[in-house]
Amino acid sequence: MDIPRPNAARDRRRRRLGYTAAALAALALITLGLSRLKPAAPKVDRATVYTDTVHRGQMLRQVRGNGVLLPEEIHWVPATTPGRVERILVLPGAQVQADTILVELSNPEVEQAAFDAEWQLKGAEAQLAKLKVQLESDRLSQEATAAALVAECSVAKLDAEADAQLAAEKLVDRLTALRSKTKAEQLTTRCELEQERLRILGDSHQAQLAVQEAELARLRAVLELKRTQLEKLKVRSGLAGVLQRLGDREQLQIGQQLAAGANLARVADPTRLKAEIRIVETQAKDVSHGQPAKIDTRNGVVPGHVVRIDPAVQNGTVTVDVALDGPLPKGARPDLSVEGTIELERLDDVLFVGRPVHGQSDSTVGLFRLVNGGKEAVRVPVKLGRSSVNTVEVVSGLNLGDQVILSDMSQWDAHDRVRLN
């Protein structure tokens, strides 16, 4: 028989409500848990990233730049006089000596000036010879006059002495003796004056000869200058080396008219080269004179040292001249593109790692450090110190043996963790 159960329906409703509440609570808990879950870390192909390990020890600081080989001595050959190009005897690329004639010029005015200067000199030489003959004749005439006066003076003195003796013996009158004495004194004075005139005449002759000889020396110098200008129409190298260029901007042509001072040719010694390296201005602050360097010519590496640092910045770079200390490899020539590495200093007992793509010296960057056996990488802030070409000092943020990703990870800036597969 059926037993009446008046509370069964109510119990069923209660159970139903309990199940519903439990389901709602579970759903709420699941939703809350899912909302708090972090998004899954993105996957990065390990083959596409470059990693390095943090080391401790000696770190070599270097800077690197591109440049060219240039001659230590470049000799520009100018046109000392204006002229027209008549002949080109040597073409660029040829070996030349200091006295090798490169170009022959012509200038009728220079030729005429040299001709005129030569004949002016010959005329001055003839004038000097004529002056010497004339002065010698004047000197001889003056000496003859002086000699005659000396003889006349001697006779007058003898006459005066004789008349004085006769006057003392009353054989001649006193007036005659006085006249003889006066005449002798007068001739003596004239004789002294003629001797002084003869001496002055010699000084005058020397002065006239000095003036003419000075003019002759001037004309010789003018002729030498004109001959030099004429000789300079045959343009010589002036330096043993290689002829690099004929003309300043354009190749020299036969018949071309050149002004005085125009650059005709450029000659350089190919055995004495230096490297001109361009260093980024932010890296050039630590470069100083005497630092060792290495120049890569693509056919060998040549040691060298810094000899000059350009004080000005051009296009974001500083030009550094490096003197080459070793023999040049084959194929080294002016204007050859090279790569130079300058050694700044050696840091002992420091933490260092390969230089990240966007890692600058004395800055803080975020680097991905490998964890979980290299399966994942987490971003950590790393403070960098002094940098080199391929390495950088680690001030803080990493420890010895840590592995970090050095490649460009900017596309994962929104994530602090990545997975490597």
Query: What does the pLDDT profile of the chain (421 residues) look like in tens digits?
Result: 455 555 666 666 777 777 777 777 777 777 766 555 455 678 888 888 889 999 999 999 999 999 999 988 888 899 888 899 999 999 988 999 999 999 999 999 988 999 999 999 999 899 888 888 888 887 777 777 777 777 777 877 777 777 677 777 777 677 777 777 787 777 788 887 877 787 887 778 888 888 888 999 999 999 999 998 899 899 999 888 889 889 888 888 998 998 888 888 999 888 889 999 999 988 888 899 999 999 999 889 999 999 999 999 999 999 999 999 988 888 888 889 999 999 999 999 999 999 898 888 888 999 999 998 888 999 999 999 988 888 999 999 999 999 999 998 888 888 888 888 8
SS3 (DSSP) at 375: coil
Residue 241 CA to residue 99 CA, distance in Å, equals: 11
Q: Are strands 51-53 and 337-354 parallel, antiparallel or unpaired?
A: unpaired
SS3 (DSSP) at 147: helix
Which DSSP category does 233 fall into? T
Residue 215 CA to residue 226 CA, distance in Å, equals: 16
Find tokens 């006239």 and name the residue.
208
Considering all CA atoms of the chain, what is the largest pairwise distance in Å, rounded to the nearest integer? 228
Q: Are strands 301-314 and 317-324 parallel, antiparallel or unpaired?
A: antiparallel
Q: What is the DSSP string of 279-345?
A: EETTTGGG--TT-EEEEE-SS-EEEEEEEEEEEEEETTEEEEEEEE-SPPPTT--TT-EEEEEEEEE
pTM of the model: 0.59
CA angle in degrees (0–180, nearest 5) for 198-200-205: 95
Residue 213 CA to residue 200 CA, distance in Å, equals: 20
Query: Which has the closest alpha carbon to 79: 59, 103, 62, 96?
Result: 103
Q: Could you tell me which residues are beta bridge partners of residue 365? A: 382
Burial-class residue 398 by CB neighbours within 10 Å (0-12, 13-18, 19+).
buried
pLDDT of residue 37: 47
b (16+ CB within 10 A) / e for 169-200: eeebeeeebeebbebbeebbeebeebeeeeee
Which DSSP category does 355 fall into? P
pLDDT of residue 3: 56
pLDDT of residue 119: 92
